[in-house]
Structure 1
Amino acid sequence: MPMLGGVRPPIAALLCALLAVAGLTALGLGTVHEQDVPQALRDAERQIAEDAADSVGTSINASARAVRRSAASDPPAGSSDPAAALRSLLPTGHPVGGGVLLDPRTGRPLAASGEKVPLAGVDAAALVRPGTGNIAPRMAVSGSGAPRVLLFARVTVPAAGRKQEENHDQAGDLTGDQEDEERELLLVVSEKVAAPAVYGEGRTGQLVDRNGKVCATAATVATTRAALAPPAGHRALPAAAANAAHAGLPTGDVSGSVLGAGHDGLRKVTGWASVAAGDGKGDAAGLGLTVLTGREVPPVKEGADHTWFALVAAGALVVVAVLVTLVLWGTMQRPLLQLHLSAARLARGVGEEPEERGERAELVRPVPVLGFGEPGRIGRALESIRRQLLGETGPEPEPPVRRRPGVRALVLVCALVIAAWGVPLLFLFNRVPAAKAVPAAAVADQRARTEAAADRVQRSLVRSRTDLAAAASALSGAPPERATEVLRREQADHPTFRSLYVLDRTGAVVRQVGKQPLRTLVHPAGGGITQVNTSGKIPAIAAYARIPTAGKAKGAKKPEDTAPAVVVAEIGVDALDDLVSRPGLGSVWVTDAHHRVLAASVGFQAFQPLPSQRLTRLVAKTDAAPGSAGTPASAVLHAGTAPGEGLSVAAAAPLAQTGPAAGLGWRVVSAEPAAALKLAAYQVQARTMLAGLLALSVGGACLGWLHIVVVRPLRTLTGCAERLAGGDRRTVLFPVHHDECGSVTRSLELLRQALVDRDRGAGADLAAVPAPSFECGSAP
């Protein structure tokens, strides 16, 4: 008869699942091979190139915004002269190489400053066409062949400079209304291409244009002169990286790494990343720049081959699978199927008509008793019922209940056998200490990336301070309406500013835009960056700048106008969180001078300590000794507080050694779990644990399935069969499963009815028979 369930599907599924796990174990562990340069180092070099590209793009964007902001400011008195206007328009605090004012109608320069600006291919009339947005920067080549970045901005100047232009225009080709009050010019600023900032001993960095030409080169202090010269096989690498970055822009594949050939016992690892990748849609996205970083690393020693272990583990699991399947087949599946056939045979025997029974062939043949436990007990009960039907014996007393091992204990033993294979793989085998598994180069890369994160935070703070100083100059002597407009424009240009306000000499807020200040400075002096509070729910970080005295400015009529004042910008903590959050760097924290958390890439509470005392001790190693600025530190340690967490590669670096942010005493701390690194030792460990977990999971699932659909019904069926053999004719048996147990239950019910009919034929007192009970089974 077809079976919808039963004992066969769980056992077959268990065998197939365990064999599949064995195959995955052999394939997964056998394909892991030790590399002379681990993938973790190649990924780290790619991420270092991405960090450098992000810094380059941020720097170019900041310069472009500074030029546009300077061009949009109100021209000072006497700026009608083009030369004077140009001097006032050049942004302060930014590395400007040269500047020029162009007349968009003629394309001729009206004034120039600094080095000669390369204007080849610059169409001034097209750039200042009405209705266009911000003018994107572009690359150019100076007269000496050096690359330059050209920054553009539209400038509106008084028309008094028009007369001077006519005096200088010998060709006399200028036309127009001499009575115009204002005119629009084009400001072009030339900047040198800055080399990417790289960190780490022996690392070099290159900035490459879209044609593969190296624009700038940087190297760390420890880099030798020989390392700056690329090997012969790497001379085409800049062009190849530039082409790959340009081709990967539509798909987002704008970074990668290359492993060079070995020489002198070292191998060169090079990472590349497009500036447009980190810049996104900023001003630097269209320049086509690519950053290359590289360093030479010693190859790791040849590790053990895991193929033999994979084959042995997979073979052992195959043996376990076959052994468990044979045991379940011989002690559960085969006896239960035999019981199904024997019970059906007896049911056919009692269902034949008297003239068809003959010698009662179906009832004469004994019931074979196979297996142990519940199947054996059911077989003995069926044999007793057969003999009762033939009249050879009467009801047998129900045997006393004894705690003997049955099918449930058998399933438990099979589970233990599977666990004996899976548990060692899950907790014992292929465990390598992180101190030995993590190469020193990976620890150095974590330190280099932490230094880069500290540099990003430091540059952002210094840039905020520089731009705030420019805004302070614009506020000098400005009327209230104009001052408020300057503050609003400054906050629009700096989304990191949560609040901007002006303080008078007493420290009172006289003008404010943005959110409510967290805490104002008291009697500030000069300018800089400071941490306003040391407790509370939100850390208060502020940049401030002195507003120049406007005593001699035109229109200053009151003494209050010349009173010294300070403009303050509170920097949101969310901006610092975004700066330190980088892929592959792990958890990153920014701490104050007392090693308390100010910002982090993970959830934190303001001014909480670091999550581990080991991290705190690592940060303490970076503290500056008397007369020094502090040095970065890194180590492999336990960086978490939760039990069971593994080792991490941690690093700490001071925020700044010089500049306005040096006095803050901040540190940037990072911790990346060592298991997250793509190292062969951890890959083998993870796959070994996965194999053990899969074996335990499929073994538990299949044996649990077997217990639910076979063991529990079989134990219930055993009690019903023994009670029926012991003379219980009242309990009606209802099959509740469409499987072997249900078939045996249906046959037992037919046998019970035959026994009842036989007792009636023998003159049994039917009136004394109580109503049937429903203790065994339930209604279908």
Structure 2
Amino acid sequence: MPLLGGVRPPIAALLCALLAVAVFPTLGLAAVHEQEVPQAVRDAERRIAEDAAASFGTSVDVRARAVRRSAASVEAPASGAPEATLRSLLAAGPRVRGGVLLDPRTGRPLAASGEKVPLTGVDVAALARSGAADIAPRPTTSESAGPRLLFFARVVVPAPARNQDHARDAARERRGGTRAFLLVVSDKVAALTVHGEGRTGQVVDRKGKVLATSAATGAALTPDTEDRALPSAAADAGQRTGDASGSMLGDGHDGLRRVAGWASVAAVDGKDDTSGLGLTILTFREVPPAKGGADHTGFAIVAAGALVVIAVLVTLVLWGIVQRPLLRLHLSAARLARGACGLPEARAELARPVPAGAFGEPGRVGRALESIRRQLLGETGPEPVPPPRRRPGVRSLVVVCALVIGAWGMPLLFLLNRVPDARAVPAAVVADQQARTEAAADRVRQSLGQSHADLTAMASAIAGAPRERATEVLRRGRADHPTYRSLYVLDRSGAIVLRVGKQPLRPLLHAPAGNGISPIGASGKIPAIAAYAQLKTGENDENDGNAKGTAPAVVVAEIGVDALNDLVARPGLGRVWLTDEHHKVVAASVDFEAFQSLPSRGLTRLVVKTDAAPGGAGSPASAVLHSGSAPGGGPSVAAAAPVAQTGPAAGLRWRVVSAEPAAALKLAAFEAQARTMLAGLLALSAGVACLGWLHIVVVRPLRTLANCAERLAAGDRRTVLYPVHHDECGSVARSLELLRQALAEQDRGAEAGVAAVPAPSFHPGGAP
């Protein structure tokens, strides 16, 4: 018999598969235990640290770009003196604590202003000689002022005349009529923006020293709440493991346990320093430890024992009713075929009756073979085919076996170890979801605010400038801001007089008053958002009749929705939507249609809770949405937060909404539920696969074989029986074909008057 054919392999595979599945609940469910701090809380704290690190890195990047932009656009004084050049650079750039202008070749200070810039441990000469256009910021420590961040920018100014002061130095440094300096400014390490009640954030350097500390609402920065071991452990963790982020547990006191997350600040945009700032963001808060959870060991043992009993019973039933009778039919049919070959010594095989099974198709085939044996011996003639009656057969037996296996698997798949929606998710996990949603809203607010601030700076730069100068400023601004889809300038009549970038989706038809950010329309395939800033013009332009209505009035930046999609998408936050004041989606981390409604009423009701009362600013909200109101069918952890309460984006009244399926969280209850469902699914899959295999290779051929055997016993000598399967059923079919040929020869001999061969007689005790 072939390896995968016959009745034995499916039954043996079913037994082995069910026994293997029975081991799974014992090993899988017994290993699920409630941790003191759930893994979901630790993972959420790690994600919060990653969000804070990304936000901190972005703020440092923005500040570094501002320093470089001001250094590239400032007009140096005619004297070219380093002191005057430094004053003009510091006046045009962002406010800093101190600045110094260095010789790029030697690193010698040429001019200084403000507080002393700490350059200890920083090889500025090597940085200047590296040739990198953008030098990444460096953290350092001032003995008098504390931690500082250094920002660098290359400055090129026209060289002074030879008869002025410093002529000798200028002659050495003159390159094509210009002089090169290295500007270094220092500023305080910006405090982190952390969200979540009772959470504290820290900026830690490579040595584990805390450079800045900030706290969210409800977190007091007192010595009692500090854990000195956490900063050092966070600084060493990345270097030791090579990971970019992680989580850890601190000490416990007063019935609370401190959980911390850390994340390395990625390299900003300095291509010469692959190690980045070398800073680590540490966030931590205290959570109540989880109570003793349910022990699933007893349930796993009972479930595994029940499946073992079912597997043994099903195997015994199939062996006794299907496998054993079929093997006996295979041997009996082969014996009758040998007896019908016509040889005298083989005719003795016909003397033994055929043992007929008592159930289903094997019994029908056995009774037909017994009738054929008697016809070969001449004891009887063809017997009529019994009328068809609805009797249970082997197929019904297979269905019953499948139902028995399903009776074990279906409760595990749909009923047992279900997590009640009322206590599906701990309060700490819900709070972390809200904190991360607030952080996502804060990223959108920072991005829109920075875009508007830079647009205002561009408006100041191009006011009254020639067209070529204004075009260059707009091009440089769009290159610095990937969020800008298009930049254009409107005159007082609303006509576009200058444009950089793509064609606007929906340009403003009228020049707006003031500065701000507003959506353009509430319909369409792609949402459009515009930031605008007024151009300051002189009184002569306003009173000039020829220029009135045609002079540039407003610079507009159309912000692309793709940039907003990237802002709200964060790993581990689930599905995130950005909604307008009418609760319609304008951006999302998943596929969406512009201005569609939120996917569930529960999310819409949650967003409504964040709406502010008249004169209010609104507040974030979070909840566990039950399976009837959550997207995806199961309970979800959802949160909503307003994007901006102040600033240029406050008038948008946007909200960030997030929803994470609770089953995706690493909670012991959901892990037990998932493993229980997996055990039931595996048992059902094994039962369906093996019983389906048995039905294909045994049950269906056996039903066909029973019909053929009954027709042959009833006198059908014309239908040729072709063996299709190379197994027990095929062997019986081949034997039936030999018996059909023998019966046909016997019938032809009887018609020709040839005497039938008498059946051999046997003495008692003789050989059959």
Q: TM-score, normalised by structure 2?
A: 0.92
Report the counterpart of residue 320 of structure 1 in structure 2: 310
Deviations 1:639-673 (A, max 9, x none): 88788611211111111222222222111111111
Tell me if the contact between 2:519 and 2:529 (Cα under 8 Å) persists in the aligned partners. Answer: yes
Whichever residue aligns with residue 119 of structure 2, its letter is L
Per the TM alignment, residue 541 of structure 1 is displaced from its structure 2 partner at its CA by 1.3
Tell me if the contact between 2:198 and 2:218 (Cα under 8 Å) persists in the aligned partners. Answer: yes
Equivalences for residues 398-409 of structure 1 within 5 A: 398-409=385-396
1:718 equivalent among 697, 706, 709: 706
Residue 324 to residue 738, structure 1, CA distance change in 2 (3 Å): same
Report the counterpart of residue 347 of structure 1 in structure 2: 337
Tell me if the contact between 1:254 and 1:277 (Cα under 8 Å) persists in the aligned partners. Answer: no
Instruction: Give yes or no for the alignment of 1:637 onto 2:625.
Output: yes
Instruction: Give yes or no for the alignment of 1:188 onto 2:181.
Output: no
Deviations 1:460-516 (A, max 9, x none): 111111222222222133211121111111111111110011122222211101011
Whichever residue aligns with residue 428 of structure 2, its letter is A
Report the counterpart of residue 608 of structure 2 in structure 1: 620
Report the counterpart of residue 135 of structure 1 in structure 2: 135
- Whole-angstrom CA distance in 2 between matches of 1:208 and 1:127: 24
Deviations 1:534-575 (A, max 9, x none): 22222221222223336799xx9x978995622211111111
Equivalences for residues 368-383 of structure 1 within 5 A: 368-383=355-370
Report the counterpart of residue 658 of structure 2 in structure 1: 670
2:451 equivalent among 464, 468, 471: 464
Report the counterpart of residue 718 of structure 2 in structure 1: 730
Instruction: Give yes or no for the alignment of 1:494 onto 2:481.
Output: yes
Deviations 1:243-281 (A, max 9, x none): 2223455xxx21111122322111100001111289897
Report the counterpart of residue 151 of structure 1 in structure 2: 151
1:287 is paired with a residue whose SS is coil
Tell me if the contact between 2:517 and 2:530 (Cα under 8 Å) persists in the aligned partners. Answer: yes
1:268 equivalent among 219, 240, 258: 258
- Whole-angstrom CA distance in 1 between matches of 2:439 and 2:175: 55
Residue 611 to residue 640, structure 1, CA distance change in 2 (3 Å): farther
Deviations 1:390-442 (A, max 9, x none): 12222112111111111111111111111111111111111112330201111
Whichever residue aligns with residue 481 of structure 2, its letter is H
**Kindly, what percent of the aligned residue pairs are identical?**
72
Residue 561 to residue 213, structure 1, CA distance change in 2 (3 Å): farther
- Whole-angstrom CA distance in 2 between matches of 1:176 and 1:561: 52
1:480 equivalent among 467, 488, 498: 467
Equivalences for residues 472-551 of structure 1 within 5 A: 472-521=459-508, 522-549=510-537
- Whole-angstrom CA distance in 2 between matches of 1:271 and 1:346: 80
Whichever residue aligns with residue 739 of structure 1, its letter is D
Report the counterpart of residue 742 of structure 1 in structure 2: 730
Report the counterpart of residue 778 of structure 1 in structure 2: none
1:303 is paired with a residue whose SS is coil
2:749 equivalent among 757, 761, 765: 761
Equivalences for residues 650-665 of structure 1 within 5 A: 650-665=638-653
Tell me if the contact between 1:550 and 1:561 (Cα under 8 Å) persists in the aligned partners. Answer: no
Per the TM alignment, residue 236 of structure 1 is displaced from its structure 2 partner at its CA by 2.6
Whichever residue aligns with residue 508 of structure 1, its letter is A
Residue 162 to residue 740, structure 1, CA distance change in 2 (3 Å): farther
Deviations 1:686-745 (A, max 9, x none): 111111111111111111111111111101110111111111112111111100011111
Whichever residue aligns with residue 304 of structure 1, its letter is A
- Whole-angstrom CA distance in 1 between matches of 2:275 and 2:193: 19
Whichever residue aligns with residue 181 of structure 2, its letter is L
1:176 is paired with a residue whose SS is helix
Per the TM alignment, residue 677 of structure 1 is displaced from its structure 2 partner at its CA by 1.0
Instruction: Give yes or no for the alignment of 1:397 onto 2:358.
Output: no
Deviations 1:136-186 (A, max 9, x none): 22122224151111111111112238876529xxxx877538897321111
Residue 626 to residue 4, structure 1, CA distance change in 2 (3 Å): closer
Report the counterpart of residue 588 of structure 1 in structure 2: 576
Per the TM alignment, residue 101 of structure 1 is displaced from its structure 2 partner at its CA by 2.0
- Whole-angstrom CA distance in 1 between matches of 2:358 and 2:422: 55
1:237 equivalent among 209, 215, 230: 230
Residue 675 to residue 8, structure 1, CA distance change in 2 (3 Å): same
Tell me if the contact between 1:477 and 1:562 (Cα under 8 Å) persists in the aligned partners. Answer: no
Instruction: Give yes or no for the alignment of 1:422 onto 2:409.
Output: yes
Whichever residue aligns with residue 49 of structure 1, its letter is A
Per the TM alignment, residue 46 of structure 1 is displaced from its structure 2 partner at its CA by 0.4
Per the TM alignment, residue 589 of structure 1 is displaced from its structure 2 partner at its CA by 1.1
Whichever residue aligns with residue 583 of structure 2, its letter is H
Residue 41 to residue 282, structure 1, CA distance change in 2 (3 Å): farther
Whichever residue aligns with residue 507 of structure 1, its letter is G
- Whole-angstrom CA distance in 1 between matches of 2:145 and 2:596: 53
- Whole-angstrom CA distance in 1 between matches of 2:135 and 2:631: 55
Report the counterpart of residue 114 of structure 2 in structure 1: 114
Instruction: Give yes or no for the alignment of 1:13 onto 2:3.
Output: no
2:430 equivalent among 434, 443, 447: 443
Deviations 1:101-154 (A, max 9, x none): 223355343433332212335555544448433212212222415111111111
Instruction: Give yes or no for the alignment of 1:224 onto 2:220.
Output: yes
Instruction: Give yes or no for the alignment of 1:299 onto 2:295.
Output: no
Tell me if the contact between 2:634 and 2:662 (Cα under 8 Å) persists in the aligned partners. Answer: yes
Per the TM alignment, residue 284 of structure 1 is displaced from its structure 2 partner at its CA by 9.1
- Whole-angstrom CA distance in 2 between matches of 1:464 and 1:79: 35
Give ranges in structure 1 of 5+ residues lacking alignment: 767-780
The root-mean-square deviation of aligned C-alpha atoms, in Å, is: 2.8
Residue 567 to residue 246, structure 1, CA distance change in 2 (3 Å): farther
Residue 570 to residue 120, structure 1, CA distance change in 2 (3 Å): same
Deviations 1:296-336 (A, max 9, x none): 00112211100111111111111111111111100000000
1:218 is paired with a residue whose SS is strand
- Whole-angstrom CA distance in 2 between matches of 1:155 and 1:222: 46
Report the counterpart of residue 385 of structure 1 in structure 2: 372
1:659 is paired with a residue whose SS is coil
Per the TM alignment, residue 241 of structure 1 is displaced from its structure 2 partner at its CA by 1.5
Whichever residue aligns with residue 246 of structure 1, its letter is Q
- Whole-angstrom CA distance in 2 between matches of 1:309 and 1:758: 67
- Whole-angstrom CA distance in 1 between matches of 2:395 and 2:333: 23
1:534 is paired with a residue whose SS is coil
Report the counterpart of residue 773 of structure 1 in structure 2: none
Report the counterpart of residue 440 of structure 2 in structure 1: 453
- Whole-angstrom CA distance in 2 between matches of 1:178 and 1:27: 77
- Whole-angstrom CA distance in 2 between matches of 1:660 and 1:731: 90
Report the counterpart of residue 288 of structure 1 in structure 2: 278
Deviations 1:171-207 (A, max 9, x none): x877538897321111112121112211111000011
Instruction: Give yes or no for the alignment of 1:309 onto 2:299.
Output: yes
- Whole-angstrom CA distance in 1 between matches of 2:172 and 2:293: 80
